[in-house]
Amino acid sequence: MLGPYLSMRSFSVLVPVYNEEENIERLLVSIYAQDLAPSRVIVFDDGSTDSTPKILERLSKDLGFEVRRTRGIGKPSILNLAFRELDTSYVVVVDSDVILPRRFFRDLFVCGGGSDLIYSWYITISRGAIGSMYRFFSLAFDGDARVGGLYKAPGCCFAISRNIYKRLYIPPGVERDDAYIYLYSKYILKAKVRFCRCTKVYLVDRKVGLKLAARRYSRSKAPIKGVDPYYVKMEGWVDWLWLVRRLFEVGKKDPLGFLSYISLRPILKLYRLLGGLSIEERWRP
């Protein structure tokens, strides 16, 4: 049962997008193919320079979603704007580089059971050696709770209740907006959190180069602005003995991914340190 909190289809879908011409149509079609329909779908296009605006204009006429235009304000500011405007019981935040399975919304809310923050998991669809590493990572961490909350709470697709998003403000310029939302909501706003690892989206990754992968790695290690480091330490732990066993277990099923993971992770770290790379990406590609 979905429960009384969804008896009136009281959830909206928010899609921040920037230069996502390759996948945005597939995502929107998958949203409208759900067996549980949202009351509103809003797409924020943050100054895309590819064909994304034209695709959105065409699809909005056919599918009926709303489009907002912003100019390079970044994902945190887009979330703040949307949270002030929306008033449904839940907002489902969906990154523009994913595809939703047919029953995703229904399964997410059934699993969530009325929690304030409901997180899904993801399966990476990637190309190339680095893409294989990301796919292996998503499989290795799938389905087990012996990792901290920062690993179990990806920002690619999650639901947040009105009780939380109306009180949440994300500081502009936060690099790890997904981690900020999780930590601030849990420890400051006292949100009830539910991890639904059985509910997955498909993360469609473009072919990733070494420099971009190093920036992603750097981003994951960046401090979380406005959050007590104590909370980060509490939620960033991993059972390392379990992790080693898990890597070899999944590696038997995906030897190419395992080889990519163990060889490229140290290379990325060294490349980042020697190259002095800064975090420049406002959007997760």
Q: Which long-range contacts (CB under 8 A, 24 or more apart) does 165-169 make?
A: 165/83, 165/86, 165/91, 166/83, 168/83, 169/80
Q: pLDDT tens digits for 55-73?
A: 999 999 999 999 999 999 9
Q: pLDDT tens digits for 206-216?
A: 655 555 555 55
Q: Does the domain made of 4-275 have the CATH classification 3.30.750.24?
A: no
Q: What is the pLDDT of residue 103?
A: 94
Q: pLDDT tens digits for 267-276?
A: 777 766 665 4
The whole-angstrom separation of Cα 65 and Cα 180 is 28
Q: pLDDT tens digits for 177-201?
A: 889 999 999 999 999 999 998 899 9
Phi-psi label, residue 190: left if phi above 0, alpha if psi -120 to 50, beta otherwise: left
**What residue segments make up the domains of the chain, in order of their start?**
4-275
Q: Do strands 40-46 and 11-17 pair parallel, antiparallel, or not at all (unpaired)? A: parallel
Could you tell me which residue, 163 or 221, shows the higher pLDDT? 163
Could you tell me which residue, 12 or 247, shows the higher pLDDT? 12
